[in-house]
Amino acid sequence: DIQMTQSPSSLSASVGDRVTITCRASQSISNYLNWYQQKPGKAPNLLIYAASSLQSGVPSRFSGSGSGTDFTLTISSLHPEDFATYYCQQSYRFLTFGGGTKVEIK
C-alpha cells in the first residue's frame, strides 16, 4: 500500500502569511496527488487535483506543486477563512489520505 506522510501535523500562522504544507508518498505516484480543506463539522472540499490543477471555484491563493514522491500545497496569503485542516491524498493506486495538517491562528 502507498503511505502518505504530511508535515507539519499542525502550524500556527497569521492572516497574510505564506503557508506551505508538504506531503511525501512512500513510492512514486507521478502527479496523482490531490489536496483537500476540511473545516469542523463539514465535509472535505477539493482544492487541488493532479498535483497542481486548481479545482473550479477555489481561490487562486491556493497552489500545488510536485511530482513523483514530494508535493507541496501553498497558500500565498492566508485569509481568515483558511484556518482549517488540510489533507493530501494519492490516487495512483486506489486512494490513501495523509494524516492532515491543522492550520491554526497565531
Partner 1 sequence: EVQLVESGGGLVQPGRSLRLSCAVSGLTFDDYAMHWVRQAPGKGLEWVSGISWNRGSIGYADSVKGRFIISRDNARNSLYLQMNSLRAEDTALYYCAKDRATGIRGGLDYWGQGTLVTVSS
Q: Which residue ranges make up the site for partner 1 (CB under 8 A)? A: 1, 32, 34, 36, 38, 43-46, 48-50, 55, 85, 87, 89, 91, 94-100
φ, ψ for residue 80, nearest 5 deg: -55, -35
Q: How far is the CB of 57 from partner 1 (least distance, A)?
A: 10
| Residue count of the chain | 106
Separation between Cα atoms, residue 88 and residue 46, nearest integer Å:
10
Nearer CB in complex with partner 1: 69/96: 96
Separation between Cα atoms, residue 12 and residue 50, nearest integer Å:
27
Q: How far is the CB of 100 from partner 1 (least distance, A)?
A: 4
Q: How far is the CB of 38 from partner 1 (least distance, A)?
A: 7
Give yes or no for a cis peptide into 59 (omega within 30° of 0).
no
Residues 94 and 3 sit within 8 Å (Cβ to Cβ):
no
Q: How far is the CB of 43 from partner 1 (least distance, A)?
A: 4
Nearer CB in complex with partner 1: 18/39: 39
